[in-house]
Amino acid sequence: MKLVESGYKQFEEKYSRFFSLSIDLLCIANFDGYFKYLNPKWTQTLGWSDEELISKPFIEFVHPEDREFTIIAAQKITQSVDAISFENRYLCRDGSYKWLSWNATGFSEENFIYAVARDITLNKQNEIELQKSIRELEAFKFALNAHSLVAITDKTGRITYVNNQFCEISKYSKEELLGQDHRIINSGHHTKEFFADLWKTIVQGKIWKGEIKNKAKDGSFYWVDTLIAPMLNPDGQPYQYVSIRTDITQRKLSELALLERSRLSVLSAEVSLALSQSGTLPEILQNCTNTISQYLDIAFVCIWTFEGQTNQLQLQAGVHCTDVACSALSDTQNFPNHMVLANNIIGLMNQNHQAIFNEELSINNSENLFDSTSSIVRFSAYPLIVEQQLIGIIALFSKQLFTEPTHNLLNWIANNIAVAIDRILAREELLSRREALLLRLASQIRSSLNIDMILETAVNEIRSLLQIDRCYFLCYLPHPSQPSLTITYEARNLNLPTMLGSIPLQKSTFLTKILLSQELICIDNINNNSHIDYDMQKLLTEFGITSQLLLPVKSNSGEIGAIVCSHCSGDRIWTNSEINLLEAVCDQLGIAIDHAQLYTQSRSATLAAQTQATKLTETLHKLQQTQSQLIQNEKMSSLGQLVAGVAHEINNPVNFIHGNLTYANEYFQEMLTLLHLYQQHYPNPQAEIHDFAEKIDLGFITDDLSKLLSSMNMGTNRIREIVLGLRNFSRHDEAEKKLVDIHEGIENTLLILHHRWKNNGIGLDISIVKEYGTLPLVDCYPGQLNQVFMNVLTNAIDALEESISNLKTTDKPQIIIRTEILDNKSVVIRIADNGLGMDEDVRKRLFDPFFTTKEVGKGTGLGLSISYQIVVEKHGGILNCLSEPGKGTEFWIEIPI
């Protein structure tokens, strides 16, 4: 019995030790809701003592939110023998709660609940945090999909996932995007280096951030703020990339609009500055186009104006821009067909004076303009209008659309350029008028030396130029007995009384003193000037003069004069430029007076000598013309008669031979038929016939005689063609103008010269290259024009013959004949050879009568002189020669249609 009790006591101790050392919370509770026994883990976990835990119902330690289902769990335990599991929160002594996971079972026989609880607070907190993170991730994913463009690509850049926002912004479906790379939305805005830097960053496993401009499926553009994050495998290498994009198009548009407003403000200021600078009209407008090309994305900008006299468009300035740089248009070759385009624009603008804005324009074969064979560009043009009159246009080509603010600014620029052009043209006209006045005076002095005409012109031109009421010339004659002061020439407003005539000496004391001292008097207002005396002021007041400018005219002849400008409508401020101009005019007048004196003294003798020299010159010129014309007429008459006679004499026997050849051929064929019949019916001829047939080779004679007759027929046809060419060339019976084919005259001339250019006995085999254009019939003197062709082609053949004979060239001799229409007004015949050419001295004298470079007996020196008379004087055309030593010679013959 003692052994049993001892064994039980040991078992109880082991059980008590297991109960107290357990890491779980072990307890025994009554069905009435109180703890009966607790192991030490409760105090360690919750901080309450055993007495505090046992003294209260255990439900009071449960979190209020957990009490209801804890009571239900306790009821289940008391009613079942199966273990029940649940979780709830227990209050700690420090006021916090800890999560406990319960396994409990009840024994109704004892009314006890045996339960094991484990502290799962840390796991529960982790679970709660995990659930919270999951909820936050779901919210983030929702927000990301709602507001961002998300795409995932593999390591090669192929798209494997896109969200709905990506499809909505890019206008592509998921099916169209999956499997593609991001080049499908490439806008072309960024450089290759930009994307190279992007890939260099992400392949290293680094995050890339930046702004990218993309292109949607419908062609529109959008901006995205992009973050690309690499997803790394265990080796640290990217296996895919996640890109998160935020649509910032509106922000970028706002930024671009702000930048555009800033750029346009600077552009307007720069254009205003360019228009305010001094210089010629092309220089100022070129500065404007240069400024526009700096601040606007354009391919071309050009400014045309109307030429004042002809009212034709003239390209004043322009700029051509490429991807590399912009350059000024040096000439019209940089802008092909610019006048056609400009005239088309003018046709539209003349009707409504409205601008053309962002019009789509297709330009084919434009590789020199836009680096592509077919370019779609945007075209805008603005009229330059002053006082409802169109004075020019400004046109722009661009790859991009201009915005409305840009359009408004360009309208403003066009208006300011128009005003500037009008101002510059007015200033240039004023300057040109001033210069023209000086030039007219100088020209009259050089040409006529008529002092009356010069002074009359001077006062009229000065009044018109300065827009004053009166201008007159004052002359003082210092005669010892009776000096006089006279107004000899006057230009005035018709409403004013004349001042011509002498000024009384008692009123001219002040003026006489001024003239003798050669002083300049400038009076803006006679009432405010104290330098004039009473008599002078009274004289000026008598004629209503309120302002006056007097400039002395200095001469070496002893005569004293002055140009006087007067104004009768209040104050008149005389500017320095006006005074400088009038001083120059007075200098010219002084020279005129001196020259007039010399001219008067020598006029008689000079006039007689000039008359005699003129008569001799005219007589010599007429003699030379008469001599050359006589020689030419005699030559042409003799040549025409000779050619016509030869042609007639040759033509008769040739026609006889040619006509009889037909009958000879028919007779031969009939005799040949008869011979064949004999051979057919008498196949075995006599021996003598057989031997004779073999001796004469009857088969050969039969075949060759037919060929011989055919050759004779061809020869007579050739002779007839030559005779016809001779008759056509001489045109002996055509002395009047008529419509002819220029090419026929050239061909007839080549036919006559065939023996020279084909082979002349020294190995000269000239190649004739004909580049004929399509020409209409030309109204001309055909015989004389053929003579021009003969002279020019003969000279070309002589030049080539000389170069071959003297072994001065190894090139194959060649003559190129080109014909074309020029401006639908005239035809041009260009005859060029590759001979030795000629120097400038020879070329200048080429058309002088009797000038020749050939040896004595080989040329008269009249061929080209007569040709010049035929082309220029007879036909009103142009005959010119282009030649350089070693580069051949080309004659240009231009005949009006």
Least confident of 179-183, 569-573, 770-774: 569-573
* pLDDT: which is higher, 858 or 3: 858
Confirm if 360 and 376 have CB atoms less than 8 A apart.
Answer: yes
| CA 340/CA 351 separation, integer angstroms | 18
CA atoms within 13 A on the CB side of 31: 13
HEC string of 100-157 equals EEEEEEEECCCCEEEEEEEECHHHHHHHHHHHHHHHHHHHHHHHHHHHCEEEEEECCC
370 confidence band (pLDDT: 50, 70, 90): very low
Residue scoring higher pLDDT (833 or 526): 833
Q: Which of 287, 397, 410 is nearest to 335 (CA)?
A: 397
pLDDT greater than 80 at residue 718 = no
Backbone phi, psi, residue 625, to 5°: -65, -45
Q: pLDDT by residue (tens digit) across 186-219?
A: 888 888 899 899 999 988 989 999 999 999 988 8
Taking 90 as the threshold, does the pLDDT of residue 579 lie above it?
no
CA distance 478 to 518: 14
- What's the predicted TM-score (pTM) here? 0.37
Name the percent of the chain lying above pLDDT 90: 8
**DSSP secondary-structure letter at 467?**
T
Q: What is the DSSP string of 777-840?
A: -EEE-HHHHHHHHHHHHHHHHHHHHHHHHTT---SPPEEEEEEEEETTTEEEEEEEE-S----H
Give Cα separations from 197 to 182, 240, 571, 829 (angstroms). 15, 18, 75, 64
pLDDT, mean of residues 25-35: 89
* 397 contacts 298 by C-beta, under 8 angstroms: yes
Q: Are 181 and 153 in contact (CB under 8 A)?
A: yes
For CA atoms 799, 804, 809, 811, give the dihedral sign: positive
pLDDT recorded at residue 337: 54
Q: Is 302 exposed, middle or buried (0-12, 13-18, 19+ CB in 10 A)?
A: buried
Name which of 511-525, 567-581, 636-650 the model is least confident about.
636-650
Confidence check: pLDDT of 733 > 60: no
DSSP 507: G
Do 393 and 339 form a contact (C-beta atoms < 8 A)? no
489: enclosing H helix or E strand: strand 484-492
User: Confidence band (pLDDT; 50, 70, 90) for 643?
Assistant: low
Look at residue 365 in the predicted model and tell me its pLDDT. Answer: 46
Kindly state the tokens that stand for 862. Answer: 């009249």
C-beta of residue 424 within 8 angstroms of C-beta of residue 410: no
HEC per residue, 539-601: HHHHCCCCEEEEEEECCCCCCEEEEEEEECCCCCCCCHHHHHHHHHHHHHHHHHHHHHHHHHH
Dist. CA 857–CA 672, nearest whole Å: 57
CB atoms within 10 A of CB 111: 13
Q: At what angle do helices 404-447 and 249-276 cross, to 10 degrees?
A: 10
Residues 113-129, mean pLDDT to the nearest whole number: 86
Q: Parallel, antiparallel, or unpaired: how do β-strands 35-38 and 221-232 relate? A: unpaired
- List the single range of 2-6, 142-146, 162-166, 707-711 with lowest mean pLDDT: 2-6
SS3 labels along 361-414: EEEECCHHHHCCCEEEEEEEEEEEEECCEEEEEEEEEECCCCCHHHHHHHHHHH
Closest listed residue to residue 635, CA positions, set 870, 412, 292 = 870
- Using CB atoms within 10 Å of the CB of residue 392, give its burial: 0 to 12 exposed, 13 to 18 middle, 19+ buried: buried
The mean-pLDDT minimum among 105-114, 209-218, 774-783, 856-865 falls in: 856-865
Helices 698-730 & 742-752 angle (0-180, nearest 10): 120
Least confident interval from 469-473, 594-598, 689-693, 795-799: 594-598
* Beta strands 767-771 and 814-822, pairing class: parallel
Question: How far is the CA of 741 from the CAs of 218, 401, 874, in angstroms?
Answer: 61, 54, 18
Pairing of strands 313-321, 470-477: unpaired
Q: What is the mean pLDDT of residues 786-802?
A: 86
Q: Is the pLDDT of residue 779 over 80?
A: yes
CB atoms within 10 A of CB 180: 15
Nearest to 813 by CA among 888, 882, 892, 884: 888
Number of neighbours of residue 590 by Cβ within 10 angstroms = 18
Q: Answer yes or no: is pLDDT of 7 > 50.
A: no
Which pLDDT value is given to residue 208?
92
The answer to whether the beta carbons of residues 470 and 568 sit under 8 Å apart is: yes
Closest CA to 221 of 37, 475, 401: 401
Output phi, psi for 575, to 5 deg: -80, 165
Higher pLDDT, 9 or 847: 847
Question: Residue 484 region, left (φ>0) first, then alpha (ψ -120 to 50), else beta?
Answer: beta
Q: Angle at which helices 576-681 and 782-805 pack, to 10 degrees?
A: 90
Contacts of 298 (CB under 8 A, 6+ apart): 292, 319, 321, 396, 397, 398
The answer to whether 419 and 386 are in contact (CB under 8 A) is yes
Better-scored residue on pLDDT, 114 or 427: 114
In whole angstroms, what is the distance from residue 664 CA to residue 709 CA?
Answer: 8
Q: What is the mean pLDDT of the chain?
A: 79
pLDDT at 784 over 50: yes
Res 368: pLDDT = 47
Q: Give the burial class of 774: count Cβ atoms within 10 A of its Cβ; 0-12 exposed, 13-18 middle, 19 or more buried.
A: exposed
Using the 8-state DSSP alphabet, how is residue 856 labeled?
A: T
Average pLDDT of the residues in 835-845:
84
Rounded Cα distance between 280 and 264, Å, is 26
Residue 466: closest CA among 341, 390, 577, 629: 577
Helix-then-strand count for the chain, H and E: 24, 29
Q: How many residues does the chain have?
A: 897
Q: Is the pLDDT of residue 91 over 90?
A: yes
Alpha carbons 810 and 886: distance in angstroms, whole number: 12
Percent of the chain with pLDDT over 70: 77
Question: At 523, which helix (H) or strand (E)?
Answer: strand 521-523
For residues 562-580, give the mean pLDDT. 83
Q: Which two tokens stand for residue 59?
A: 């439900």
CB 166 within 8 A of CB 153: no
> Does pLDDT of 794 surpass 60?
yes
Is the Cβ–Cβ distance between 405 and 261 less than 8 Å? yes
What's the rounded mean pLDDT across residues 886-894?
A: 90
Q: For residue 441, what are its two tokens?
A: 């005076």
Structure tokens at 480: 């010892």
3-state secondary structure of 895: strand
222 sits in which H/E element: strand 221-232
Which of 394-403, 454-463, 802-811 has the lowest average pLDDT?
802-811
Residue 829 confidence (pLDDT) above 90? yes
Select from 813, 745, 737 the least CA-distant residue to 775: 745
Residue 879 amino acid letter = L
